[in-house]
């Protein structure tokens, strides 16, 4: 659990909770009418504030002893996370929740390749099979003809298709960025506790987003109360219970197991979109979701006791 390095909670159980929390992200983003950069800025900033009381003396000493190289990698991870949020939030304005959330989880391909090249991790044949099955389900879930959906009911079919393709492309960019973020987290979490790590990364991310907001001339305050409640919900749900717990799990599980497990997010988000946004999943979505879950199971079942630290 965040705040401790002892194995008080099973990493796989914690990861399951994190996936459920992250699944609410797209819904909260859709409900907010604030600019996407502002949504991301306050989501990350409020997450830092929420975690601050958990930072104890040991964590603070760890922060003061971070080596320059580790600090640079943590800042780079924060920049990658900021880019991920901006392009993914924008993606949700142009395509469906099911398509956007699933495509952004294409990151296992980049994580597995990067972990092999940069971290020396080997993906077993069974793990590779799980990744392949999960990605096949992602294709069925995201690229079925029914999912070239009209997010804007007034748009023509050609405009809707072009918009969906644009949104899908943004989600893919978000997948590349979040893969870089997870890989940096995996390398740093071998040396840093979770709270010192996320404090540096989230602060760097918030500063980048603040700079972008200022450059774009976006108003930082004067949002209605319901927007502030949504910002807080993004921080406490997907931020604290979601990504922060994922960062903790990265210290105990191989990076490709964590990243492929996050493919459960599209399934949860699609179900929430059905209930809360009236986005009815077509048969391709249901079939793809089942295949994604199968891929998650196959990949997660490759974990052995030697994977943990």
Domain locations along the chain: 11-307
Q: What is the pLDDT along the chain (309 residues), one digit of tens a residue?
A: 554 445 567 888 888 899 999 999 999 999 999 999 999 999 999 999 998 888 887 778 877 777 888 888 888 889 999 999 999 999 998 888 887 888 787 777 777 767 777 767 777 787 788 778 877 877 776 665 544 444 555 555 556 556 677 887 898 889 889 888 878 777 676 777 778 888 888 999 999 999 999 999 999 999 999 999 999 999 999 989 997 888 788 777 876 677 677 778 888 898 899 899 888 766 766 777 778 778 777 776 665 433 433
Please state the three-class secondary structure of the chain as a single string.
CCCCCCCCCCHHHHHHHHHHHHCCHHHHHHHCCCCHHHHHHHHHHHHHHHHHHHCCHHHHHHHHCCCHHHHHHHHHHHHHHHHHHHHHHHHCCCCCHHHHHHHHCCHHHHHHHHHHHHHCCCCCHHHHHHHHHHHHHHHHHHHCHHHCCCCCCCCCHHHHHHHHHHHHHHHHHHHHHHHHHHHHHHHHCCCCCHHHHHHHHHHHHHHHHHHHHHHHCCCCCCCCHHHHHHHHHHHHHHHHHHHHHHHHHCCCCCHHHHHHHCCHHHHHHHHHHHHHCCCCCCHHHHHHHHHHHHHHHHHHCCCCHHHCC
């Amino acid at each position: 659990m965040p705040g401790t390095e002892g194995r008080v909670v099973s990493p796989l159980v914690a990861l399951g909770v994190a996936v459920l929390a992250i699944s609410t992200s797209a819904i909260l983003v859709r409900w907010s009418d604030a600019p996407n950069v502002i949504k991301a800025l306050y989501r990350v900033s409020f997450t830092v504030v929420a975690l601050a009381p958990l930072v104890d003396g040991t964590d603070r000493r760890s922060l003061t002893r971070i080596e320059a190289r580790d600090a640079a990698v943590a800042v780079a991870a924060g920049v990658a996370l900021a880019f991920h949020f901006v392009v993914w939030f924008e993606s949700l304005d142009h395509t469906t929740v099911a398509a956007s959330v699933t495509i952004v989880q294409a990151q296992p391909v980049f994580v597995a390749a990067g972990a092999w090249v940069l971290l020396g991790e080997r993906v077993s044949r069974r793990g590779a099979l799980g990744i392949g099955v999960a990605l096949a389900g992602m294709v069925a879930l995201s690229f079925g003809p029914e999912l070239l959906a009209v997010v804007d009911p007034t748009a023509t079919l050609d405009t809707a298709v072009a918009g969906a393709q644009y949104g899908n492309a943004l989600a893919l960019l978000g997948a590349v960025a979040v893969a870089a973020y997870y890989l940096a987290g995996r390398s740093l979490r071998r040396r840093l506790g979770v709270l010192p790590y996320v404090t540096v990364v989230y602060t760097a991310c918030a500063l980048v987003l603040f700079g972008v907001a200022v450059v774009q001339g976006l108003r930082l305050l004067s949002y209605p109360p319901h927007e502030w409640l949504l910002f807080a919900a993004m921080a406490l749900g997907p931020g604290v219970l979601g990504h922060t717990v994922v960062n903790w799990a990265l210290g105990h599980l191989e990076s490709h197991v964590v990243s492929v497990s996050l493919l459960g997010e599209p399934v949860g988000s699609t179900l929430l979109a059905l209930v809360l946004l009236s986005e009815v999943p077509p048969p391709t979505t249901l079939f793809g979701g089942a295949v994604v879950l199968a891929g998650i199971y196959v990949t997660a079942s490759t974990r052995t006791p030697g994977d943990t630290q």
